Amino acid sequence: MNIKPPFFVGYALLKSSLSLEEVGKILSDKIFGGLEFGGKDLEIHDEIPAIFIQAPVIGLKIILDGYSGFGDDQSFNLSISPWISIEHVEREDVRLDNYLFHLLQVELKDVEDIEVFEN
């Protein structure tokens, strides 16, 4: 029997008038047990501001990127994917989008400054 290891990946869309760092602080407190986002100065994305939790969370990297505002091109994206890639191994994608959407809706229900959208 050939069992493929799971490749966990998920995305969530948020909109807010708060800054990237302010949204990151709220997510840190509400979702990630106080693990802080940072690394904006590393510019991990070419043209989009991004912050990330600087240590793997159960082997996953957590990135928040985007722009504040409510326009069509203004949103934040929370992404979760493996911290390191396992090469030369056939794997099975496990999507976390729906889980992230519902988790964020529940945990941010009292945060009026952030809206959560389905992908």
CA distances from 84 to 24, 55, 56, 57, 99 (A): 22, 11, 9, 12, 22
For the segment 74-90, what is each residue's pLDDT rounded down to a tens digit?
899 999 998 887 777 78
For residue 88 the two structure tokens come to: 């030369």
SS3 of residue 40 by DSSP: helix
First to last CA, the chain: 35
The model's pTM is: 0.90
pLDDT digits (tens, 9 = 90+) for 55-75: 989 889 999 999 998 888 889
Q: For residue 105, which amino acid is it?
A: Q
For residue 85, give the nearest of 60, 64, 63, 65 by alpha carbon. 60
